[in-house]
Amino acid sequence: MCIFADNTKFLKICTLNKLVKILLSLFVLLSVIACARIGKPPGGPIDEDPPVIVKSKPVNYATNYKRKTVFVGFDEFIKLEDAFTEFTISPPLEETPLPRTKGKGIVVDLHYADLDSFTYTLDFGESIVDNNESNPLLDFQFVVSILPHIDSFSISGRIIDAFTHQPDEEGMFVHLYSNLSDTMPLTTKPSYLARTNSEGNYRINHVAPGTYSIFVLKDANANMIFDMPSEIIGFANEWVHLYPDSFPVEPDSVNSILMNGEMEQTDTSSIEDSENLMADTDSVATDSIEFMTYGYYIDLFSFTEAAPYQQYLVEYDRVNPEKLQFIFNDTNSNPPGIRLLDTIVEEDNWYLLEANARLDTLVYWIPDSSLLMRDSITVELTYPETDTTGNLITTVDTLLLTAKIEKETTGSRGKSDGKERKGFKLPFGSKEEVTDTLPPPPPRVSFKNNINSSAHDLYRPVIFTPAVPVFTFDQSKINLVRMEDTLEFPAAFTLKTDSAKFRQLRLDVDFEPNTQYILNLYEGAFTDIYGRTIDSIAFKFTTQKDDHYGIVSMKLSNITSPVILQLLDPNEKVLKQKQLFGDGMVEFDFLNPGTYLLKLIFDDNANGIWDTGDYERKLQPERVSYYPSELDVRSNWTLEYDWVVE
């Protein structure tokens, strides 16, 4: 209690002291509450642990299993990712059930499955992840047996592509068939199966004794049957015999599957209909299950079969007034026959043929100006075609090819005159050339080249590729000089057409290293089939230094059949290749510094290409081998290797 002579003056002080005491008491109380609060500090490490199994019904590796529901419980909430592709049951059922989440667990309903006398392996792959961080539980398998024992054989290995030796990262299926008929993969689901992981590894566990055939399938339509020619496959030529006396030695070890004691406990608080789900008096629960495991290991190669030979015309078009184009789906042994209809021209002179090596893409250039003026051309095309029975027949088609229409909507001064002109521009010199108020400059030959102005490769010729075939070239209107300081010295060269590529011109030069050159092309150097020539143009470039390149020298031994040795870049693009028929030295020179690969193709039929396999004929793909290490090529170095081919 405050007593003051001047009540007015000191009443305010007394009230203020009380307020301070109240605020101080509140501060102390809040501090005590804050100190007493228990909580998780902010931040902390990210959860990187996969879900942990704490219970299951029945226990994993249960025998005499009669019910048709499996439950697996975890220490946290989980979710399923890509279960349709990741989850498998082996042996496969007529209708594969999908796992579903329930509480902190997974349920697999087998109610509609007709379980036979087998050990069943439920493989979840990488589908089980925790709910928060999506940490996967890798390669988890749950095993139950209808029998009083667990089948104890397994087959494992690796599947890689026969040509690239790379695994299929999306995964493939490995099938076992107890029926040894060759038609089984084409008509019937397998007896057992497993899915490869991203590294191509597979393992089929708990296989019953027996003799099996092995088949690999990239199942495009998810029916477990090889019924699409485009599906990737693989197979073993020999059957696999899985019997204890088939193995030359005793099994390597006795596998002991230790069951976590917590897994035998059943917590049904989070499971609906728990009494029905967990009531399973026939399952066996034990702390340790021991059985003998016999493992068989086999690697296989995957491939896509060559498509059945079919020949037909895919596309035809008059790309522009100057050329007709025909595209076939497959290689032709000879160019198709072509004949003009409704047009009178000299049959032997109305076209120039440009075709690729496979003769599946053919371009007919039209040099005749009277044909160019026609907006449509009718031709009769005669070519081989595959009929419905797979036999080649001769087809004669009458085809109408219409030129692309080029619309012009501007007048001579670039302003619209309100009129729409339709037609196409004729090559310079044609009788009915389209002109404007002011005559346009004469059209010129356009072309591409491969000149590297700063470091042109010493071994590489200069290549010119005109947009239209060249009718003539005049070497006297081409000048090449080598520069030394400010002095020019004539450099010898030869110009010729490239026999492999219809429109290319090849300028061969014996280049000197690290030297500047000037290449002059004068008007008239090239003249195309329409009489057009080029504008004068000069190219200045410097050649590469001779010590820039490296060399790979490879001695191959133990070559017993024809082989193709390929030099590849890191992306497996073929840079150079050579064919060998026995042991010998191979040298790849003028290599830019960098990393290279060497691939060896065992060309059994000596046709110069790699051939794929064929299941019906039981032909494996031609074998491929890679040199064990990459080749690190350096400037001015020669790398020498010995390769004893196995």
Q: How far apart are CA 556 and CA 588, in angstroms?
A: 13
Diameter of the chain measured on Cα atoms = 138
- Count of CB atoms situated within 10 Å of the CB of 199: 11
Higher pLDDT, 251 or 141: 141
User: Mean per-residue pLDDT for 177-181?
Assistant: 95
Q: Centre a 10 Å sphere on the Cβ of residue 172 and count the other Cβ atoms it contains.
A: 23
Tokens of 234: 């693989």
Kindly indicate the confidence band of residue 143, based on its pLDDT and cuts at 50, 70 and 90.
very high
pLDDT of res. 424: 39
**Is the pLDDT score of 419 beyond 90?**
no
Would the CA dihedral through 287, 293, 298, 300 be positive or negative? Answer: negative
Q: Are 427 and 443 in contact (CB under 8 A)?
A: yes
* Whether the predicted pLDDT of 225 surpasses 80: yes
- Res. 6: pLDDT tops 90: no
The amino acid occupying position 270 is S
Q: What is the DSSP string of 81-94?
A: SSHHHH-EEESPPS
Q: What is the pLDDT of residue 326?
A: 96
What is the average pLDDT across 304-331?
90
d(C-alpha 550, C-alpha 225), whole Å: 51
CB 514 within 8 A of CB 546: yes
Task: Find the range with the poorest average confidence among 34-48, 278-292, 450-464, 624-638.
Answer: 278-292
What whole-number distance in Å separates Cα of residue 620 and Cα of residue 183? Answer: 17
Pairing of strands 550-557, 638-644: parallel
Q: What percent of the chain has pLDDT over 90?
A: 60
DSSP summary character for residue 246 = G
- Split at pLDDT 50, 70, 90, the class of 318 is very high
Report the C-alpha gap between 26 and 19 in whole angstroms: 11
Is there a contact between 232 and 254 (Cβ–Cβ < 8 Å)?
no
Which pLDDT tens digit goes with each residue over 570-617? 999 999 999 999 999 999 999 999 999 999 999 999 999 999 999 999
pLDDT of residue 396: 94
Q: Which residues contact 250 (CB under 8 A, 6 or more apart)?
A: none
Residue 443, pLDDT score: 81
User: Could you tell me how many helices (H) and strands (E) the chain has, helices first?
Assistant: 6, 47
The strand pairing partners of 385, in sequence order, are 393
pLDDT above 50 for 415: no
Report the length, in residues, of the chain: 646
Contact (CB, 8 A) for 550 and 638: yes
The Cα–Cα gap between 400 and 402 comes to: 7
Pairwise CA distance, residues 378 & 371, whole Å: 11
In angstroms, the CA 428 to CA 372 distance is: 12
DSSP string for residues in 587-636: EEEEEPSEEEEEEEEE-TT-SSS----BTTTTBPPPPEEE-SS-EEE-TT
What amino acid is encoded at 582 in this protein?
G
119 contact partners, CB below 8 Å, separation of at least 6: 143, 144, 145, 146, 147, 150, 151, 206, 208
- Assigned token pair, 168: 């299929």
Mean pLDDT taken over the chain? 82
User: Could you tell me whether strands 313-320 and 323-328 are parallel, antiparallel, or unpaired per DSSP bridges?
Assistant: antiparallel
Pairwise CA distance, residues 150 & 501, whole Å: 66
**Tokens representing residue 432 in the block:** 């009915």
CB 173 within 8 A of CB 194: yes
Lowest model confidence (mean pLDDT) among 97-101, 170-174, 225-229, 242-246: 242-246
CB 408 within 8 A of CB 421: yes
**DSSP calls for 481-507:** EEEETTEEEE---EEEE-TTSTT-EEE
What pLDDT shows up at residue 390? 78
Residue 562: both structure tokens together: 């024809």
Instruction: Go through 568-579 and write b for each residue having 16 or more CB atoms within 10 A of its CB, e for each that does not.
Output: beeeeeeeeeee
Q: CA–CA separation, 144 vs 125, rounded Å? A: 17
- Per-residue pLDDT at 200 exceeds 70: yes
Whether the CB-CB separation of 452 and 493 falls below 8 Å is answered with no
How would residue 438 be classed by pLDDT, with cut points 50, 70 and 90?
low
In sequence order, the 6+-apart residues with CB closer than 8 A to the CB of 630 are: 570, 595, 596, 597
454, 477, 452: which is closest to 462 by C-alpha?
Answer: 452
Beta pairing, strands 201-207 & 153-161 = antiparallel
In angstroms, what is the C-alpha Rg of the chain? 39
DSSP string, 503-523: T-EEEE--PPTT-EEEEEE-T
Residue 263 clears pLDDT 60, i.e. is over it: no
